[in-house]
Structure 1
Amino acid sequence: MFTRKKKTVSNPTETRKHKGETLSDIKGTKTHNGETLSHKRVKETAEEKLARAARIKEHNEETLAKAKPGDMLKFDRGLYCHWAIYIGEGRVIHLAGSEGDMNDNASDVKVREDSFWKVAEGDLVDVSNDKDDRWDPYPPDEIVERATSRLGRVGYNLVLYNCEHFTSWCRYGKSQSDQVDRVAAAGSELFGGGVMQIYDIFKGLVNPSYVGMASKEVRRHNEAVYTDLNVGDLLEFKRGMYSHWALFIGDSEVIHLSGEDDDGLGEVEKKHIFTISGVSFDKAIVCRDNFWDVAGDDMVYKNNSNDSKWTPLPPSQIVERALSKLGRVGYNLIFSNCEHFVKWCRYNMERSDQVESYATGLAVGGAIAAVVGVVAWLGGESKDRTKEKKSEH
């Protein structure tokens, strides 16, 4: 978290139109037909400041006039963009602190309703529903309802749950931030692919319930997945920090490697004992359960993505292999977890992508940390030698 103290100029490449004239961002300054709109323009007179503010205000009046309930609004702060959902009558809902977009006090950042002009703060504002090209938006009244349902909810994380994550969730049901993804991609280009793997791992820490995914929406998603299932399909149950895996055998049933009800976790529900949450791993057992019981309130996905690498066995043989292991006890997080089991059933390959991703991400992270440590040590040694030479003289 950091406090927004002063406006900072931006460096985007987008171009806006204002009554047929260009409002573009070039080399860190906003321009209007060649006139600078930058907050940091050198030698800008009082008259020029007033003229620039008037042009921005006129642009924002046009934005407000064409905005419709459910639209995503992008407020250009310069270094970053703030996001809000327009709900009509000049009002927006957004994730922000009481004193502005960001605040050092995380408990002060919550979903709020404010006037369009209060949030604008003299910055350029545009309707930005660009993600419609990727995902189908909810109906306008449902978008507004989703935003309203989160009012007062406290919570903020710059990387995993910021104002853009919130507005994307309201409009598309997808908690996603292009700003953060671009930074992560840039880091990956600079330091290697391991950065993206680490980022993906941390994104996995966000459970749908953390970003406000209502249970009825999860159910609607899971019903769509269920209707598309075929015998022998692999199922991935998103638990937040990790994924649980099962094999669909038809008639609403799955076979999976699961912890037992009474394996030392007290009152914890069975669905939370899967894979890495178990304590007495020697009690994990291959069992047969109802699809909906295993899903609980978590999102489920059909995931046969490894079909592109390995040829799956015939459905009847996949099910036969799974049934042959019913009641078998045994678990190892690294070598024999629930994902290893289902992939052995489908491909005769005991592999776990999530274990390999964790291992690669940690290895890259450790390597980067080691390099940083060496550089810091060399820097310290260099300073010490410099001091010694000075003392000799």
Structure 2
Amino acid sequence: MAKDWASTLVELLTSPVSLVTDVVDVLMDTPVHERFSNSIKTDVFQDSHLRDLERVSTDRKLRPGTILRVGRTGFWHYGVYIGGDETVHFTSEESDTSEDNRVMRTNMSKFLGDAEEFQTLRFPKKVCGQRVYNGKETCARAIEKIGLGDYSFLGNNCQHFAVWCKSGVAISGQTVVVNGGESDSPVYRARIEASTSAMGLLGWVKVPDLIEVFGIEVSRTLFASNYLP
């Protein structure tokens, strides 16, 4: 839908009302996607320019082969949506960063955990010179690796895996600062795990995800209780 400046102006003028209703919705424990401010973002003001800033999606449909990320305490967790409300991702029964992690096929509820929202990624035609695979190819690459272990926090993590499924390049924007996003080192691993634990105390602070340096963008935000498989 074409963006509309009139809708943007009206949304700006009514934003104080959204702030008040946000407080009420929190007190009433209203589901995120049903809260007044989020309803008007996806319904009434879906053609506002402000949606470009917040990337709230009016399209709730997920397409197979889409790379997803969801917020965890201190980091982003990545996976490949393969359709049928299922995701392939590097995880374990206990944790997403356990040494026992392996590539697993799970339902979306396992991938989302208790997150209220999640995001999708948009890929360019090529990443690091490699062509990007279509949805069907991406799903096949992910499913082929089910059962794979050898998890490494810096060198072979959930983001490396998900991006590899889409692009053939195992890179991680969350490890760019310490090792360029590709290699592994016990020293770097200790540093990043220590910083993750410390930032995890704040909950909303995460290891910086610089995936954009590879030309990959965070595309859409969807509400966990509102998407259509």
TM-score normalised by the chain length of structure 2: 0.54
1:351 match: 171
Q: Which blocks of at least 5 consecutive residues in structure 2 are unaligned?
A: 1-7, 39-55, 181-187, 189-229
2:103 match: 286
In the TM superposition, 1:270-349 aligns within 5 A as 270=94, 273-275=95-97, 278=98, 281=99, 283-298=100-115, 299-305=117-123, 307=125, 309=127, 310-349=130-169
Report Cα offsets for 1:166-224 as digits up to 9, x if no partner.
xxxxxxxxxxxxxxxxxxxxxxxxxxxxxxxxxxxxxxxxxxxxxxxx77226887x95
Report Cα offsets for 1:225-278 as digits up to 9, x if no partner.
88242211100111141100000111111100102x2xxxxxxxx4xx113xx2
Q: Does 1:230 find its partner at 2:47?
A: no
2:90 match: 257
Q: Cα–Cα, structure 1 residues 236 and 247, in superposed 2: closer, same or farther, change >3 Å?
A: same
CA distance in 2, matches of 1:252, 1:226: 16
1:343–1:350 Cα contact (<8 Å) kept: yes
Q: Does 1:216 find its partner at 2:31?
A: yes
CA distance in 1, matches of 2:158, 2:60: 23
In the TM superposition, 1:52-131 aligns within 5 A as none
Equivalent residue letter for 1:332: S
CA distance in 2, matches of 1:246, 1:295: 10
CA distance in 1, matches of 2:150, 2:132: 24
Q: CA-atom RMSD, angstroms?
A: 3.4
CA distance in 2, matches of 1:340, 1:314: 18
CA distance in 1, matches of 2:134, 2:101: 27
1:215–1:297 Cα contact (<8 Å) kept: no
CA distance in 2, matches of 1:252, 1:231: 10
Report Cα offsets for 1:256-309 as digits up to 9, x if no partner.
0102x2xxxxxxxx4xx113xx2xx1x111111112331133231001345563
Q: Cα–Cα, structure 1 residues 303 and 140, in superposed 2: closer, same or farther, change >3 Å?
A: same
TM-score normalised by the chain length of structure 1: 0.33
In the TM superposition, 1:123-142 aligns within 5 A as 141-142=17-18
1:243 match: 76
Q: Which blocks of at least 5 consecutive residues in structure 1 are unaligned?
A: 1-131, 152-213, 262-269, 364-393
RCO comparison, higher one (Cα < 8 Å, 6+): 2
In the TM superposition, 1:133-172 aligns within 5 A as 141-147=17-23
In the TM superposition, 1:185-204 aligns within 5 A as none
Q: Cα–Cα, structure 1 residues 252 and 307, in superposed 2: closer, same or farther, change >3 Å?
A: farther
* Structure 1 position 351, deviation (Å): 0.5
1:225–1:302 Cα contact (<8 Å) kept: no
* Structure 1 position 354, deviation (Å): 0.8
Q: Identity of paired residues, percent?
A: 21
Q: Cα–Cα, structure 1 residues 256 and 306, in superposed 2: closer, same or farther, change >3 Å?
A: farther
Q: Cα–Cα, structure 1 residues 136 and 343, in superposed 2: closer, same or farther, change >3 Å?
A: farther
User: Quick check: which one's helix share is greater?
Assistant: 1
